[in-house]
Amino acid sequence: MARDEAAPRKRLRLPLEWLGLLPFAVFALLFLILPTMKVVIGAFQDVDGGFTFQNMVDLNTGSIRAAYWTSIKLSVISAVLGCAIGFAMAAAVVFGGLPKGIRGPLLTFSGVASNFAGVPLAFAFIATLGPAGLVTLWLKTEFGINLRALGFNLLSVWGLVVTYLFFQIPLMILIITPALDGLKREWREAAAVLGATGAQYWRMVALPILFPSLLGTFALLFANAFGAVATAFALAGPQLNIVPIKLFAQIRGDVLGNPNLGYALAFGMIVITGLANVTYIVLRTRSERWLK
């Protein structure tokens, strides 16, 4: 009898344990799965709801193709610079002999800054590096440096790159710091015993081990920049020909918009960012085997 009573109790335990995932499952369903399904379905529909490939064909038109190219270029540049600067800062904290008190505040700030985007970030950079920004006027008044004359324009691709670096660099620091911590001291000591210099250790030991993490983080930073919609639109408005702004122009609801073409644009963004994220996950899994 005791065994018969214990059996149903054990069977009831699984649903209760999974109950904690219910809020996440509901959130993912409402704000990720269903919107993604709507985008994918809408990308292959015409205005009457019929099936069509025309929206995909229209993605190959001149202005949209140029928008994708500009977005990819912007994402690659910001990801490369974010990886390089973030890696240097993380390495300085982990191996550079800096005071231990710097690491905690840097990681805390990186956690906040990596999620600081959208309209507040755009306003902050306009007030700082815009045509009448604080730093712009200070450089011109104190040092005679005219950023506009030097070719810098915040409302351009390079202006967006500088803005994106505000959250790209902290994200790189957060992700690569644990990987740097995983480099064992014994590896450096063994390389030194064999006569390797510091540069040779990094070139032949550390960087090959870190390469999957670096490449995966680059893919993640690329996806992060490619999908940044609010920051790009708040900063440059319709002046820049990039995919997020093209997408907004199609779905905002005026008579010139084509929502289904907007869905096709969004579908293209999902494919590109999805491939980048899958690349990150695969490479991250490979790197963890070395860094455990």
Give the mean pLDDT of 118-128. Answer: 90
**Greater confidence, 59 or 16?**
59
Q: Are residues 162 and 125 in contact, defined by beta-carbon separation less than 8 angstroms?
A: yes
In-domain check, residue 107: yes
What confidence tier does 149 reach under pLDDT thresholds 50, 70, 90? confident
Find the CATH number of the domain harbouring 135: 1.10.3720.10
Give 220-239 pLDDT, tens digit per residue. 999 999 988 888 888 877 77
Decide if 51 is inside a domain: no
Q: Is residue 256 predicted with pLDDT exceeding 60?
A: no
What is the pLDDT at residue 291?
A: 60
| pLDDT at residue 254 greater than cutoff 70 | no
Residue 221 lies in a domain: yes
User: How far from chain centre, in Å, is Cα 165?
Assistant: 10
Task: For 47-91, write each residue's pLDDT tens digit.
Answer: 888 899 999 998 988 889 999 999 999 999 999 999 999 999 999
159: containing domain: 63-93+101-291
Whether 188 is covered by a domain: the verdict is yes
**How many domains are there within the chain?**
1
The answer to whether 110 touches 85, Cβ cutoff 8 Å, is: no
Query: What is the model's pLDDT at position 3?
Result: 53
Question: Average pLDDT for residues 11-34, to the nearest whole number?
Answer: 80
pLDDT attached to residue 184: 86
- Asked, for residue 10, whether it belongs to a domain, the answer is no
| 259-276 mean pLDDT | 90
pLDDT of residue 33: 92
221 close to 78: Cβ distance less than 8 angstroms: yes
Q: What pLDDT score does 290 carry? A: 61
Q: What is the pLDDT of residues 55-64, one digit of tens each?
A: 999 898 888 9
* Confidence grade of residue 6 (pLDDT, cut at 50, 70, 90): low
pLDDT tens-digit profile of 235-253?
877 778 888 888 877 877 5
Q: Is the pLDDT of residue 8 over 90?
A: no
25 part of a folded domain: no
The verdict on residue 11 lying in a domain is no
Give the CA distances from residue 215 to residues 70, 107, 125, 193, 210, in Å, rounded to whole numbers and listed in that order.
Answer: 21, 21, 29, 30, 9
pLDDT at 197 over 70: yes
Q: What is the band of 5 on the pLDDT scale with cuts at 50, 70, 90?
A: low
**Strand, coil or helix: 51:** strand
How many Å apart are CA 288 and CA 285, to the nearest integer? 5
Band (pLDDT 50/70/90 cuts) for residue 100 is confident
Instruction: Identify the band that residue 117 occupies on the pLDDT scale cut at 50, 70 and 90.
Output: confident
| Any domain includes 32 | no
